[in-house]
Amino acid sequence: MFLGLSLSCVSNVLLARATTVGSVGSPDRSGSLGLKEHYARSVASDCVPLSITLDSSHATDFYRSFVPVSPAGSYQLASDGLQLFLDRPQGKIVTKQNVNDKVAEGATLNSTFTLLYGTVTFTFSGPATPGVVTAAILIADQHDEIDIELVGGDPKHWQTNVFAPSPRDEQPLYGVFGEIDDYPHGQKSVEATHSYTIDWNEDRIQWSADGAVVRTLRKDDTKKNGALHYPSHFARLQLGIWDASSPAGTSEWARGPINWDDAPRRMSATFDSIEVKCPY
């Protein structure tokens, strides 16, 4: 599995952009806080207990807790949830050797707070289109990740992963700790709305779907190349939808590339609510 490759790269690009773009002050036309203000706040923050319904009637709470790091118009806080959009790239798209020469830029939002350990529940759904990935992750500036990903090309399953680089690694361990998981009950589809939970402490990570634990990863099980690869840095929440049509390994993992001749010009993921419980 290659989910770490593109998700880490996408996240790093967005983090770099966010530290150089944006102005401190009042919300822009998309309703977001200035990105510099966001990062100044998040660096010094701690775990914040949160229970928020993501709809237009809770806009004040939403903009206090999250900020976009993708272009204006890439998301919408509506009466029926937070919509994250993935739009078809402009111009002709050439597919060669299962890779598209143009990759769409989807919506990405980061929390304005960080946490070290805790329980986070994301309630959301994503499109069942091969090559499209909907993600809800915890990501640290040191590149640690704890991932939940809905791969549109494998709509009957959901995926979990961790990524915590070590200086001992000769190459990144993308996907080494990944797993494809079944839905324990309910409608078994990424298009259906499910509640996904990451329960993270200093010894183990548990992932749940709709209240049922489906995977436990213990710290001792992340040893590779003589080093532990267990996320242990303050992390922010990140929500996103992205195009996994390139490079070749990522496209293969996501069952891509996106066939834009058949896919809608705009696809969306919907986040209904987020709950954060702090251990301290």
For 197-246, write each residue's pLDDT tens digit. 999 999 999 999 999 999 999 999 999 988 999 999 999 999 999 999 99
State the total domains in the chain: 1
Report which of 2, 1, 97, 119 is spatially closest to residue 49, judged by C-alpha positions: 119
- What is the chain's mean pLDDT, rounded? 86
Residues 6+ apart with CB under 8 A from 266: 85, 86, 87, 88
Identify the domain containing residue 183 by its residue range: 3-277
Q: Which residue is it, tokens 């773009």?
A: 21
Predicted pLDDT at 30? 34
User: Mean per-residue pLDDT for 1-23?
Assistant: 40
Q: pTM for this one? A: 0.85
Between helix 3-18 and helix 35-43 the angle, nearest 10°, is 110
The confidence score (pLDDT) of residue 27 equals: 32
Query: pLDDT, tens digit, for every residue of 50-67?
Result: 999 999 999 999 999 999
Phi-psi region of 39 (alpha: psi -120 to 50; beta: other; left: phi over 0): alpha
Which of left, alpha, beta for 25 (phi over 0: left; psi -120 to 50: alpha)?
left
Name which residue leads in pLDDT, 168 or 9. 168
Known catalytic residues?
A: 145, 149
- What's the CA gap between 89 and 36, in Å, rounded? 28
Could you report the per-residue pLDDT of 102-126, keeping only the tens digit for each? 999 999 999 999 999 999 999 999 9
- We report the CATH number of the domain holding residue 233 as 2.60.120.200
Beta strands 50-53 and 266-277: pairing type?
antiparallel
